[in-house]
Amino acid sequence: MFLIAGLGNPGEKYASTRHNVGFMVVDLLAARHSISLKKKGHQSFYGVGRCCGKSAVLLKPQTFMNLSGASVASASKSLDIASGDLVVIHDEIDLPFGAVRVKVGGGHGGHNGLRNIHQSLGDNSYIRVRMGVGRPPEGGDVANYVLKSFSGSEKKDLDDVLLYAAEVVEALLTHGDQYAMCEYNGRNILNP
């Protein structure tokens, strides 16, 4: 069984922000695979079903980004998820908008949601799907930047980027992390 956790902040105020792309991709995967995200538990909304022929739990932590680890660790432990079957989808300022990268293990890179997951799991060897949101303008505050909505030009491409990210997750489930990294990590859907 796979646990696919999309990171974000709960509430309408944050729904369309850069920090919530993980939620957006999980919502899209739920729609594509007819999985209802109405169960409550593990400090999250979640759903259980099948994605690409694999048993999967789709999870949206409701703890706010910086405390995501409480939800992810609770679900991981309860479901006995191996680190290789945990997929975390999150925003990544070190990648341009439109880039989606698969990474296994590594540091948190300053991302507070990942930092908290690392601490809560005591393990950083899970799979990440890194969604590029770009950096703020020179001297701009990162926290304010990720908590703002996408620009007008980005909004025009956002649906395509989210669909692409969902396809990356589906490829990962179907063919494994090495295939997904080889197939998708060198691309940017907006600049193929």
- Residue identified by tokens 């990356």 is 168
Average pLDDT over residues 146-165: 96
The reported pLDDT for the residue numbered 62 is 98
**Chain segment 3-17, per-residue pLDDT in tens:** 999 999 999 999 999
d(CA 35, CA 144): 33
Residue type, 171: A
- Give the pTM: 0.96
Q: Which domains can be identified in the chain, with CATH numbers? A: 2-184 (3.40.50.1470)
- Strand 44-51 to strand 39-41: parallel, antiparallel, or no bridges (unpaired)? antiparallel
Query: One of 19, 42, 90, 111 is an active-site residue; which one?
Result: 19
The reported pLDDT for the residue numbered 138 is 86
- Own/partner long-range contacts of 155-162 (Cβ < 8 Å, ≥24 apart): 157/97, 157/98, 157/189, 157/190, 160/189, 160/190, 161/97, 161/98, 161/100, 161/131, 161/189, 161/190, 162/21, 162/24, 162/25, 162/28
Catalytic (active site) residue 90: no
What is the pLDDT of the chain when averaged over all its residues? 95
d(CA 90, CA 174): 20
Backbone angles phi, psi at 61, to 5 degrees: -60, 140
Helix (H, G, I), strand (E, B) or coil at 171: helix
Average pLDDT over residues 48-66: 97
